[in-house]
Structure 1
Amino acid sequence: MSDMIILAENLHHFPICEEISKRSGVKPIFIQSRQHFEALLHLLREGDSTPVTSKGEWIELAPDVRFDHRRHLIHRHGKVYPLSSTEYKIMQSLSSQLGTPCPTMELIDAVWGIHGHVGLDSLYVYIRRLREKIEDNPSRPQLLITHHGFGYELRSLVS
């Protein structure tokens, strides 16, 4: 008997999945894109198939947006987005001072090191990529805020 079923998202498979789930108790996993597949592979390679259950393992940024710092993932609206090592370092640094603006150079030092030779353009690219993963509208961010001339702030909209 299998421990899990993995299917590409295709609605004509849904009745079959419901039947398998009823009979076996196995919950199907729907893969919606290559990114979701890579996130699942990351979890399987880590040998960790347990769901995120402890609030200490994640930070809730919005009602349906979580930063899973243990697994280096963003969960948003039922989808999983893996973080690159640089994206993870940025999120980790900003989440350690949640709700407080972080100066740009302090963030660069935390991510690339004091002697890291990285331009502001690199940071801007990673901030944009993170916004695409955590924001509903990356052009109008509510969670990862730019403080022009100062730095960045990661906010939680959950009280």
Structure 2
Amino acid sequence: MTQRQESAGTGRACVLVIDDDATLRRALGINLRARGYEMLDAADGTTALAVAARRPPDVVILDLGLPDLDGVEVIHGLRGWCHAPIVVLSAREDQAQKVAALDAGADDYVTKPFGMDELLARIRVALRRPAVPADESAPVVTTPDFTVDLAARRVTTAGGEEVRLTPTEWALLEVLVRHPGRHVPSRMLLQEVWGPAYGTETNYLRVYVAQLRRKLEPDPARPRYLITDPGMGYHFAPADPR
């Protein structure tokens, strides 16, 4: 399967749309179902969290301006247990709001008004990324502080505890780990992780590399493994330089 289609044995990817605009939910429902998706919807954050708990979605479309909870709170609520990609859909154009949503664990951000074809393309990208089949021959990369199992798509600490990563965090780490010691340009990272339409959104990289450092580096302020190449990109340093 090329998309995440495990849910409830339906054979169709499940999209959860969280938006208080009933007209928008209906329009998305028509378009999603016409393309073979299953759709669930909720008009507020509390309902959305309950719906997602009953029927784990394969991708979430989330408006930040909900009547009960802030959308960032909903992201935090989902990210406690749900690894489905989250595409934020919002009229908020403030850069700080976008960064806050991405920092909370969102995977993509679409500003209203939007084109339906663009949103559907973002959904396809979001669904494709977690569904990449594990490469059974992929190596296990071990550092003094954590281990990355590329086949199992799993990261563990030196003590054996699993490190929870969002789909986007994993995708970014995977690209870097598969090129140990080699400079990976920002444009390549953006296109590999977010899709071919991306190439200049370096703020996305700053947010997600910072999140990975907080989860993996002994001292995130002085990274040993996830290294910035100023003005160019990043590289993974597998050896501890101490």
TM-score bucket (shorter structure): 0.5 to 0.7
Q: 1:9 maps to which residue?
A: none
Residues 75 and 81 in structure 1, CA contact (< 8 A), matched pair in contact too: yes
Separation in 1, partners of 2:229, 2:219: 18
Separation in 1, partners of 2:137, 2:219: 26
Letter in 2 for 1:69: L
Q: 1:91 maps to which residue?
A: 173
> Which of 155, 160, 185 in structure 2 is aligned with 1:74?
155
Separation in 2, partners of 1:102, 1:117: 13
Letter in 2 for 1:99: G
Residues 112 and 118 in structure 1, CA contact (< 8 A), matched pair in contact too: no
Separation in 2, partners of 1:66, 1:141: 16
Residues 59 and 66 in structure 1, CA contact (< 8 A), matched pair in contact too: yes
Residues 146 and 155 in structure 2, CA contact (< 8 A), matched pair in contact too: yes
Residues 188 and 199 in structure 2, CA contact (< 8 A), matched pair in contact too: no
The runs of 5 or more residues in structure 1 that have no matched partner are 1-36, 40-53
1:98: how far off? 0.8
TM-score (norm 1): 0.59
1:65 lines up with 2:151 in the alignment: no
Separation in 1, partners of 2:140, 2:81: 20
Residues 213 and 223 in structure 2, CA contact (< 8 A), matched pair in contact too: yes
Letter in 1 for 2:155: I
Q: 1:128 maps to which residue?
A: 210
1:57: how far off? 5.0
Separation in 1, partners of 2:199, 2:234: 20
**SS of residue in 1 equivalent to 2:162:** strand
Q: Find runs of 4+ consecutive structure 1 residues off by over 6 angstroms.
A: none
1:120: how far off? 1.7
Letter in 1 for 2:217: E
Change (3 A) 1:157 1:114: same
Separation in 1, partners of 2:199, 2:186: 14
The structure, 1 or 2, with the larger RCO (C-alpha pairs under 8 Å, 6+ apart) is 1
1:92: how far off? 1.3
TM-score (norm 2): 0.40
- Aligned residue pairs total 108
Residues 217 and 224 in structure 2, CA contact (< 8 A), matched pair in contact too: yes
1:38: how far off? 5.2
**SS of residue in 1 equivalent to 2:163:** strand
**Identity fraction in percent:** 28
Letter in 2 for 1:108: L
